[in-house]
Amino acid sequence: MTPFRLTIISPDGPKFEGDVEEIIVRTTSGDLGIMAGHANCVAPLGMGQATVIIDGKKRYGACIGGLFSMVDGKATIVATTFEWAEDIDAQRAEAAYQRAQQVLDSKDASDTEIALAQARLRRALVRKSVAGHK
Ligand code: ATP
């Protein structure tokens, strides 16, 4: 497959810069697969796994929100948070999951606390799942 350029950045700093053969990202409206020659596009990112194929091998990341763009053959992921599978602290994700679950199980939680806990739960579930690819 023809390689193309991918840049991944997050507020933590650059996460990747190099040639890849395929990308699958979770957008707010579902998974988007990108190969060389894809038309220019911009898509808001949801919370989900990002899969990148490099030299025929799959690499997985947990991508939480942001923006994907493919412009003139160059792909860019500007993520709110992004961790490669090998960088995910699975115990931390499990603790975040449990904290969120406690709030959701509580009868006293406010609407705001419930909304925040639901978002934390979803982030933790993505990280737990992607960490399974280590
Ligand atoms: P926590 O309660 O554990 O902080 P969170 O979902 O609130 O989880 P975020 O606000 O999404 O965390 O992320 C804050 C920072 O911590 C980001 O830089 C993110 O990449 C990093 N991060 C969050 N969870 C993990 C994890 N399980 N492993 C590695 N890095 C993580």
Report domain extents, the chain. 4-86, 90-131
pLDDT (0 to 100) of residue 98: 98
**123 Cβ inside 6 Å of ligand 1:** yes
As given in the structure block, the two tokens for residue 123 are 């982030």
Please write the tens of the pLDDT for every residue from 43-89: 999 999 999 999 999 999 999 999 999 999 999 999 999 999 999 99
pLDDT (0 to 100) of residue 13: 97
Compute the distance between CA of residue 32 and CA of residue 67 in angstroms, rounded to an integer: 12
Q: Which CATH class is domain 4-86?
A: mainly beta
Q: Look at residue 7 and tell me whether its pLDDT is greater than 90.
A: yes
**96 Cβ inside 6 Å of ligand 1:** yes
Query: Which ligand 1 atom is the nearest neighbour of the CA of 82?
Result: 20
Q: Are 52 and 23 in contact (CB under 8 A)?
A: yes
**134 Cβ inside 6 Å of ligand 1:** no
pLDDT range class, residue 27, cuts 50, 70, 90: very high
Ligand 1 centroid distance, CA of 1 (Å):
34
pLDDT (0 to 100) of residue 134: 80
Please write the tens of the pLDDT for every residue from 85-134: 999 999 999 999 999 999 999 999 999 999 999 999 999 999 999 999 98
Compute the distance between CA of residue 56 and CA of residue 52 in angstroms, rounded to an integer: 10
pLDDT range class, residue 1, cuts 50, 70, 90: confident
Number of Cβ within a 10 Å radius of residue 57: 8
pLDDT (0 to 100) of residue 44: 98
Compute the distance between CA of residue 100 and CA of residue 113 in angstroms, rounded to an integer: 9
